[in-house]
Structure 1
Amino acid sequence: MTKLIVTTAVLLSILSMPASAQPAAQSTDEMVNEARAMVKAFGGSLKQALQAAIKEGGLTNGIGVCKTVAPEIAASNSNDEWRISRTSLKVRNSNNAPTDWQAIQLQAMKKQPVKNGKPVEVWQVSEASGQPEFQYMSAIPTQKLCLGCHGDSIDPKVKAKLAELYPEDKATGFSEGDLRGAFVVTRKIPAPE
């Protein structure tokens, strides 16, 4: 019994370390837990910033936050090892277009973005790029808050602001509960020493 407690304590101390201080050889389960924590931090910060911007200046103000603040939040939640971003089958910003693997996962998630009350998630470790890489995705179901800018019935002022900031916007026509996109977390896996 003591051995199990010590092992659990060691595991918990590793998971609580910053990613840059963690040992190079993390298990897939540990990387999934790290990715989940990053998604929670990024998603929470983004939602809070959007709600504050909309409260302060309406939906058009929220669009500006998505354009400028969302990439800053992603950057502040990323580091030398880990990177977090968003993607979708219908992107607003073409820089967020999915890779082939991400597009396949999004198509599957589209059928059921939420399972057992939680966003669907997938992950893999791939060596396709020549260096092992951990890839994680967590579905972003469309919430009521999203519909003012991503739904079917968008106010003309909001449409004009979207056209100004995102001339190639494809991210409209969603209904509540639809798959809006996914959070993506990647990590290059260091070669064993």
Structure 2
Amino acid sequence: MSKRQSQKYKIDRRMGENIWGRPKSPINSRPYGPGQHGQRRKGKTSDFGLQLMAKQKLKGYYGNITEKQFRRIYAEAQRLRGNTAEQLIGLLESRLDAIVYRAKFVPTVFAARQFVNHGHVKVNGRKVNIASFRCKPGDVIEVREKSRQMALVLEALESQERDFIDYVDVDAKAMKATYVRTPDFAEVPYPVRMEPNLVVEFYSS
């Protein structure tokens, strides 16, 4: 299991955006970068800088994905037919931890990875503890029976912080979700503007 050394909210401050849309994010009260130079005026960012920022933001949004893993996902998206940017988003959203997060079984993408790794989730009736497991349309993801009374799960399902989405059909009472289809980029409810086309440019240059 890969470890992310920095705290997740440092990503928000480094990007200058609340990339998960969470009310606790420090960027809500300190809309500038971290460190003693964080409040300095910034010069014009180069094209490469914009591409790098777009890549770091998208990669950071999905939690503990390492650069190696993210590059591998991009390479797979590139091999698929169609628009590479759309395919990249589709592959990221089909990860088991992403679907657990979209189903509101947990409050954050980081909690989703840990929740899966600790064996609290079943896919089509079988326990799966690999966060990067690729789900296919029609797969049924559910919280294991012994884990359904966890405060983390109950609070997340009742939270009004996020809405349910069309491409994951959730039965909150049964704590089951069906991955209906691979979403288009426009359907994914990112709280901030994501630019996967710039990510494609970054890796293509």
Higher CA-based Rg: 1
TM-score norm. by structure 2 comes to: 0.23
Where is the helix percentage greater, Structure 1 or Structure 2? 1
